[in-house]
Structure 1
Amino acid sequence: MTKWTGVFPAVTTKLTLDGKVDIEQTKASIDRLVKSGVSGIIVLPMLGENASMNMDEREAVIRAAVDVVDGRVPVLSGLAEITLENAKKNAKLYESFGAQGLMVFPSLGYKTDNRETVAWYKGIASASSLPIMIYNNPIAYGVDCTVDVLKDLVDVPEIVCIKEETGDIRRVTDMYVAFGDRFSIFCGVDDLIVESSALGVTGWVSGMTNVWPVECVELFKLCAEDRYAEARALYRILTPSFHLDTHVKLVQYIKLAESLVYGAPEWTRAPRLPLVGAERDFVVSTIKHAISALAARNKKAA
């Protein structure tokens, strides 16, 4: 059975100023992530503006990611659809494009009840041979894969991982009590990673790793090695920026942060617009404060 562990950034899709997919910039950012020590990548997540991409664009992004990664780490694709028919069809397509796993959203068009949620994930699991990470974010999507729901999915071998993003830190332990190590459990929100690691998560789907991959990999490693005093010190530097990962405008925020830190394009696709005014100033100030604090930390360590 597939066992994913480590830091899996939810990769932003780089765009040009006029909204076209910039494949070369996307490949460059993915290569930077892999060279920085991440354990896997996830293209076309919500952060990657999945829902705004047509199928030709999605194919180009997946194939480009597989090409640049070149087997160094697993390449997963987000799968975000409204109907089960489309979800099953696209699961097969993404497999044919070279994806090695799927991060599967609930239906984007309807808040399924528990029975419907089970049928949704079972149906998608039956459509391809790819291992599946369940994207569990009831705050954003109104559907919760609770322990009771997972009890009806525990015998589906393709479902191997849960991205836990309920915001309720108790859920991590509840899943371990119910299922042992049947599922890999990933923290799905940046500003809960140290707390989640203390409870035993095996991985982290991270937005801000796009910005600071070396530091985020280090943070995860410190926690995995029970070096929590050092982890807390780094976490306190990064947490104000990590809070940006939980905002409705996380795409704009993280892309702006990438631009500030290493020059990546910040452009998004409408209806998302570039940040302006006090909101932009707040994000810039937050990121620049972290840049300065990290530089001071590195100087002290040198």
Structure 2
Amino acid sequence: MHKRVWSSALSCLRWLLLICAAAAAGVALAESDPGATLHAKYASLEEQLQRNQFGRPLVLDSVETPNRLKGDIYAIVEYPLDAVNTGLNNPDHWCDVMLLHINTKYCHALAQPAGAILRVNIGKKTPEELADTERIEFNYSVAAATSEYVQIRLNAKDGPLGTSDYHIQLETMALPNAKTFLHLTYSYAMNFSARLAMQTYLGTIGSSKVGFTVIGKRADGQPNYVGGVRGMVERNTMRYFLAIDSFLGAASAAPAAQFEKRLQDWFTAVERYPRQLHEMDREQYLQMKRAEYLRQQTER
């Protein structure tokens, strides 16, 4: 009797060990295979991608820690993966993307022995001389590029006003029906002076600025959106995502018309979220970006 009990217990233990080993192997595979990790994330977000506040299949997350800000966007875009790879597996094209952002004043891609870099000048939301802006140098790399998965990274050691360790990472995965699942990460570190400068801005001219995460309801029943530096990183993550989407959408236009289409499409996309992203009228934006584009062709 006791032998049968022990035999049964040992059999159950073996099955539990096999199950645990299989689970551990699955975790290890996901950790070693970023494509598998992204596929698992897509599966976990299926319902949120269908039902959300954005009016499109998009999920936005953000994290604020004492020394770092991070925004993540997961979205389905209406382009096949090979078109996304062709468009964004190119540092020059990333300058076309970056320039759409309202704060980007200049971008130039350079080939270096260690790899490509992007020299990006960041400034105000108004026209500025380059001498009055701040420069960030991003190292550009393609970490993976297959028929099913692409990962592109832009990293910068130093940034303006006490910020550092910038990471912009784009992951893309092929979906059925010529669509692509896209994951954009935008993050950077802050020292004490950077946080102080941001708090000063957010306590004055930026006091009414909000992000996209709903943290409750106001007295009138309307959504109460996250503010502060977390709201700021959400706005910028969305601006970069809309720039990527606008760049990809303009690729089908005639080459001479692509720049103008990118500008028009980016502004239209931004204005879908006026509470968070409206800064100026369309003509002001177009005039500023046309001038910055011309300057970008002549200054290196």
Bin of the TM-score, shorter chain as denominator length? under 0.3
Higher helix residue share: 1
Higher strand residue share: 2
Q: Normalising by structure 1, report the TM-score.
A: 0.27
Q: Which structure is higher in RCO with an 8 Å CA cutoff and minimum separation 6?
A: 1
Q: Normalising by structure 2, report the TM-score.
A: 0.27
- Structure with greater Cα Rg: 2
